[in-house]
Structure 1
Amino acid sequence: MELDEPTPYEEDWLDVLDELRNSPAVDVLNEAREDIDVTAEDTAFDDLAEWEGIEIGAELRSAYIRFAQLGSQWRTVEPYPYLTGEFQLTPLPLAVHEDAPEFPSSLYSDEQRDMATGFRVIDASPFTGTGSFVALRLQPGVENPEVWYSDHRTNTLWPMNLDYRAYMDALRLTKGVFDWQHLFTEAPLGDEEFAGAAADLRVMLDVFVEIFPDHDYSDLKARLRERT
């Protein structure tokens, strides 16, 4: 296989874009479908280990994509209930060498901002500019980094109870519906503060069963029931 040809895993991600683009229930507002960046390769992880003493486990190295950018901003159309979503992925070998995002001192504690120096953004929403993003937290001695969700609406950093590979798997199911990440945080989805997010997640799981019938949403439905 040529270096610039997509792997089967990368083909799965192109299928996600095609599912959104080809669904009569969805209006794709913006899409990022860039070429494979052949510099996004395993040697980046070796450099990370050599320069910063941070090892990335072999399992994660098999779960990343190499597209320079890949993402979609979309919304449902009538007669379906209104939903919006967005994701934009940065290749893991490139993300690990990016700078950490900045957190204003007026909104976050010194402890939070110190912890976030290890953050490397892997998923964001640049088209809508919400400011929310998902990051890996790089730490020496941790081969399978924590995944954190920065929620702009609550100005809160939420650890997610899944790893990078599981995050990518869940994202393929949810297509980036806003706040889907809270299915995997400890956010109190039954509280009034999260009523809007919980309502959107219910709509997602009801509608997606119909418009994306090739996917199994039973685990996500069970998770939402447990959380609310």
Structure 2
Amino acid sequence: MQNVTPWEQGWVRIQEELRHHPGIQVVHETQGPVTRDSVPGATEGPSGPHLDASLYERSVRFSEIGSQWKTIDPYQLVTGEFFLTPLQQAVRENPPSFDPSLYSDEEQRIGVELRVIDDAPFTGTGSFVAIRLQSGVKNLEIWFSDHERGLWQMDLDYNTYVEHLRLTKGAFGWQHLYTQAPLNEWEFERTADRIVRMLDVLPHVFPECDYTPLRERLSARLS
């Protein structure tokens, strides 16, 4: 594959690993063409607001790349999806829509500044992760909408988010490890169970990956 950075090649390998693993069924996947020959840098103007060049180094230039998957026997069921929007494209997009019946006035106000970087169009859950574009702010906030429970700021920066996304392969619910969602309360019992199952199963499916930081984070969140 020509003109692909090592970071982008890593995403290609993730799709290949999911596709060829005997314990995983890929339901849908997509990989569009690389949209530019050069790696974008920090720019302002036609390419969008000024962002640090290091952020683009952890973005992709595929017009789209994503996979929807689930584990199969002999593993317990874990489902997931990632669908990345190139950062250079995301900053030029319109904000996502926010149904007033699902989001507070404050969440809708924040939502005007959000641009989606990762969502789940194949599954159709309505969940997404977005960066927040604020004038004069270079350290981008990361926000997660799980559609049913509103909007949550994540305790991660952009680079760390996409690194964790690669580790989890987009397993549903992992983002709440890094929000203030009360995972030890009944309202989030299903979410907590899903995360526990993810961290029980994925280390066996991908033994070369180190899930220790996520396990430690879960233990702290549930204590």
The question of a shared fold, defined as TM-score above 0.5 by the shorter chain, is answered with yes
TM-score by length of 2: 0.94
RMSD of Structure 2 on Structure 1 (CA): 1.8
On the 8 A contact 1:100/1:117 being kept in 2, the answer is yes
Please give the alpha-carbon distance, in whole angstroms, between the structure 2 residues aligned to 1:66 and 1:164: 16
TM-score by length of 1: 0.92
Compare 131-140 and 34-43 and name the one that shifted more. 34-43
Q: 1:195 aligns with which of 170, 174, 189?
A: 189
Please give the alpha-carbon distance, in whole angstroms, between the structure 2 residues aligned to 1:45 and 1:101: 23
* Cα 1:40–1:102 shift into 2, 3 Å: farther
2:157 matches 1:159: no
Q: 1:8 aligns with which of 6, 9, 12?
A: 6
Find runs of 4+ consecutive structure 1 residues off by over 3 angstroms.
none
Please give the alpha-carbon distance, in whole angstroms, between the structure 2 residues aligned to 1:11 and 1:227: 33
Please give the alpha-carbon distance, in whole angstroms, between the structure 2 residues aligned to 1:142 and 1:76: 40
On the 8 A contact 1:40/1:66 being kept in 2, the answer is no
Question: Which residue in 2 is equivalent to 1:186?
Answer: 180
Q: Secondary structure at the match of 1:47?
A: coil
Q: Which consecutive unaligned segments of at least 5 residues does structure 2 have?
A: none
Question: Which residue in 1 is equivalent to 2:28?
Answer: 30
Question: Which residue in 2 is equivalent to 1:66?
Answer: 61
Could you list the per-position Cα deviations for residues 106-160 of structure 1 after superposition, in whole angstroms to 9, with x for gaps in the alignment? 2222222121111000001001111000000000111121000011121x10000
Please give the alpha-carbon distance, in whole angstroms, between the structure 1 residues aligned to 2:186 and 2:41: 47
Question: Which residue in 1 is equivalent to 2:203?
Answer: 209
* Cα 1:58–1:26 shift into 2, 3 Å: same
Structure 2: which amino acid aligns with 1:175? K
Q: 1:56 aligns with which of 34, 51, 60?
A: 51
Aligned-residue identity in percent = 46
How far off is 1:191 after superposition? 0.9
Question: Which residue in 1 is equivalent to 2:162?
Answer: 168
* Cα 1:195–1:35 shift into 2, 3 Å: same
On the 8 A contact 2:31/2:62 being kept in 1, the answer is yes
Please give the alpha-carbon distance, in whole angstroms, between the structure 1 residues aligned to 2:67 and 2:35: 18
2:130 matches 1:135: yes
* Cα 1:43–1:217 shift into 2, 3 Å: closer
How far off is 1:206 after superposition? 1.4
Structure 1: which amino acid aligns with 2:175? Q
Q: Which consecutive unaligned segments of at least 5 residues does structure 1 have?
A: none
* Cα 1:184–1:143 shift into 2, 3 Å: same
Please give the alpha-carbon distance, in whole angstroms, between the structure 2 residues aligned to 1:91 and 1:163: 16
Structure 2: which amino acid aligns with 1:75? K
Question: Which residue in 1 is equivalent to 2:19?
Answer: 21
Aligned residues: 222
Q: Secondary structure at the match of 1:193?
A: helix
Structure 1: which amino acid aligns with 2:59? Y
Q: Secondary structure at the match of 1:45?
A: coil
Please give the alpha-carbon distance, in whole angstroms, between the structure 1 residues aligned to 2:41 and 2:78: 40
Q: Secondary structure at the match of 1:75?
A: strand
Please give the alpha-carbon distance, in whole angstroms, between the structure 2 residues aligned to 1:111 and 1:41: 36
Question: Which residue in 1 is equivalent to 2:109?
Answer: 114
* Cα 1:48–1:109 shift into 2, 3 Å: farther
* Cα 1:123–1:93 shift into 2, 3 Å: same
How far off is 1:43 after superposition? 6.4
Please give the alpha-carbon distance, in whole angstroms, between the structure 1 residues aligned to 2:215 and 2:120: 24
Q: 1:76 aligns with which of 57, 71, 82?
A: 71
* Cα 1:83–1:75 shift into 2, 3 Å: same
